[in-house]
Structure 1
Amino acid sequence: MTDNISDVTGFHDRVVLITGGTSGMGLATARLLLEAGAHIVITGRDDARLDRAAEQLDEVSDHGARLFTVRADSAGLFDAANPDPASHDAIRSQVPLGRLGRARDIAVDGGLVTAVPAS
């Protein structure tokens, strides 16, 4: 567990979508929020990097029970002018949203945290 866990509250059982969660700040954010009890969805374009990220987060994600990896180009997820339906469909088809209950909570894109609107 990180020393900063006391600074992260209110994420237990929340669902967080982290684009670019396979490395760097995205991966670190995924780890921190998993430690706080969140369910995490990370997106990436490369299966090998997604697999490596899942391996690195295995223990802190209850051996994958709270981590979902989705191969998708997230460029269009937050672009209101040019949305990418294929990326949205990839997430919907690969993440068991019904099992998670509150399926749309928070999204992290390049360090920007926003609420995800219900559809």
Structure 2
Amino acid sequence: MALQFLDFDYSEAEDGVATWDAIASVPQARLDALAQEAQSILAWACAEFGALHGPHEEGGLWQYDLQCERPGQPLQEIRFDEAREALVPALQAEGDGRVTLTLSVSGLPAFAEAFAARFGL
């Protein structure tokens, strides 16, 4: 899957945990497309590795952190509702303002290899 908005930077910790970090800032007119892209990434991860989602320290194979920021507003944590395949709360812009979305995805080698292959990273 080719990504339009989320351009991931890769890092790897000494313990083998791979992390991809992306930031995308879009105007209100492009917000739905950005949300769809983030949803598709997380929907894939949940479909392929959902039962293994959780902190690595607790035996999880992968985890994510998703946050949204609007001008003049604090960061807001966003979660992915797997059953609805939707971001909660839904991304919204104030007026014609921009919305900045940050997504970090990390995983152990089995997840990391599949993630990189799926998204061409």
TM normalised by structure 1 equals 0.30
TM normalised by structure 2 equals 0.29
**Structure with higher RCO (Cα < 8 A, 6+ apart):** 2
More strand, by proportion: 2
